[in-house]
Structure 1
């Protein structure tokens, strides 16, 4: 791992416009980030297959204010003035997650990393993933070990989104569409984007547990996505009832508090693995 090259990359950026500097630093507990007075850290939540085995981890951002309060991660990007600032800060978060992941025993499992929608809009056509591939190499990871999560509804320009996904895939990254079923998500865009993985929005799971019609639709939705050659993840599973319902619906992977809460240390065998997973 080339820590000095990683630090130097972020030191070069001039953020005088905002008056805040994205900084990568290292302490006893691993890598962390600074953006102004905010402290950025990593947590990880496992994804499990139908047999209850952990097959990947999603890295989640934690943003802490000076008074100790935790701020929703999306608020970190909301007030940034331009896309270039978003690009640098988004890369900082992903690099931090990668460093903390590699420093733990991960058994070669895939790492899911979120990409901000404004980051996609701030990168020149055809160059998506070029810089991040080099930064990953400093961390000791290859693109083939990483799944990039994209919130499809965060980018209105379908052509721009297609170009970004195509560039990422060409470099070996796998692509997951996050929160499918929320806001204006639709199958026309899903067919056009051809993702490797689709993560269903938690609201669909909640509705399926409360409404018989939604419960009947859920298996059809899962199978339709699988017919597109995409892996289906049902996330936000919090109860045994939800777990069994998505298992019966045919989901490929599951994720949520029912199995493990996000934590700085990888869950490994501490993830809850209900017997029903193997049903």
Structure 2
């Protein structure tokens, strides 16, 4: 079972800095049949300068702030699940916070899995490229898998996410870093290499998502690679769930 540890509350200053600013936006994940097969939930917050919702630089936040934002996100996602299920069946991809050992955070992950299962939604939990894959982290990942989660390797092919990292966990899904698609667009050799990589991962039983598909050229290239899914601005930008449901 999940090993809960004592959770230390955020300081008052940290809560003021981040409270009530994270909302989930959703970006479609497109299947080979060009139909929406799922969504990725992405954190956004209102920017007073641009008067628009912007992405959040989690790397600039400390662990408490980052965790608090993700807890806000999970609670909001839980509220969105019934509306999402009406258009399904869908997959919903959610980034895992590296500070996964918070009892509140763990409880929310399990509640989302239970609610999603009842609604016919498949949850993908994305293991971020900078998460430390120590033994207790891997154990928690396997516990989530035992509760029905599919585990995705995020940004495979980036400097921080290589084959050693891919071998550290038995992933169900591999999300290709955008840099691989851009490199494949430059030379036939890179394209041939990436096509072979996609086929290899699929032979090992992993579904492959091509991320960063931003132009029609990218769409055609991703089609040729044989990826199971595509995701990117060529299809849609992340938006509130009300746009999709």
- TM-score by length of structure 1 reads 0.73
Distance 1:207 1:263 in 2: 28
CA shift, 1:211, in A, is 2.3
Aligned twin of 1:202:
178
| Unaligned stretches of 5+ residues in structure 1 | 1-11, 23-33, 270-279
* Counterpart check, 1:50 vs 2:26: no
Largest Rg, 1 or 2? 1
Q: Contact (CA 8 Å) 2:113, 2:147: kept in 1 or not? A: no
Distance 1:54 1:157 in 2: 31
Distance 1:51 1:134 in 2: 31
Give the counterpart of 1:92 among 69, 72, 96.
72
Aligned twin of 2:97:
116
Q: Contact (CA 8 Å) 1:129, 1:168: kept in 2 or not? A: no
1:63–1:158 distance in 2 versus 1, CA, 3 Å: same
Give the counterpart of 1:60 among 27, 39, 42.
42
Q: Contact (CA 8 Å) 2:110, 2:144: kept in 1 or not? A: no
Distance 1:223 1:193 in 2: 19
- TM-score by length of structure 2 reads 0.82
Distance 1:186 1:128 in 2: 28
Q: Contact (CA 8 Å) 1:182, 1:203: kept in 2 or not? A: yes
Q: Contact (CA 8 Å) 2:202, 2:208: kept in 1 or not? A: yes
How many residue pairs match? The answer is 235
Q: Contact (CA 8 Å) 1:222, 1:251: kept in 2 or not? A: yes
Distance 1:249 1:266 in 2: 32
1:102–1:74 distance in 2 versus 1, CA, 3 Å: farther
